[in-house]
Amino acid sequence: MNEGIFKAMSDSTRRKIIELLKEGPKTAGEIANHFSFAQPTISRHLTVLKNANLIVDQKDGNFIIYRLNTTILQEWLGWIFEHFGGGDSDEKE
């Protein structure tokens, strides 16, 4: 359930895409222009993010606009904090 998100987040290019989309929605091309990889490579990264439900796409004429799925991202952050945040039993040492 979270597996796809963790996998998606484990790649630094995809993390950069997420950060880009935090600034606001962007077309696939705009996103690709931020990187020096071939366009299809970025397209596939976008697909991974989309399959993880972290981003959402919307056709606009010739373009495809991607935007963050803020809800999922926040839920993921919440899950992470629940599981890994907070104290551990070794705090007194």
Partner DNA sequence: TTATAATATAGCTAAATTGCTAAATAGTAA
Partner DNA sequence: TTACTATTTAGCAATTTAGCTATATTATAA
**Which positions touch a copy of itself (CB under 8 A)?**
3, 6-7, 9-12, 15, 18-19, 21-25, 67-68, 70, 73-74, 77, 80-81, 83-85, 88-91
Q: Smaller CB distance to DNA: residue 11 or 19?
A: 11
Q: Smaller CB distance to DNA: residue 2 or 41?
A: 41
Rg (CA), the chain: 16
The residue within the footprint of DNA, chosen from 2, 15, 22, 38 (CB under 7 A), is 38
> If you search the block for the tokens 């979270």, which residue do you land on?
2
Q: 69 Cβ partners below 8 Å, 6+ apart?
A: 53, 54, 55, 56
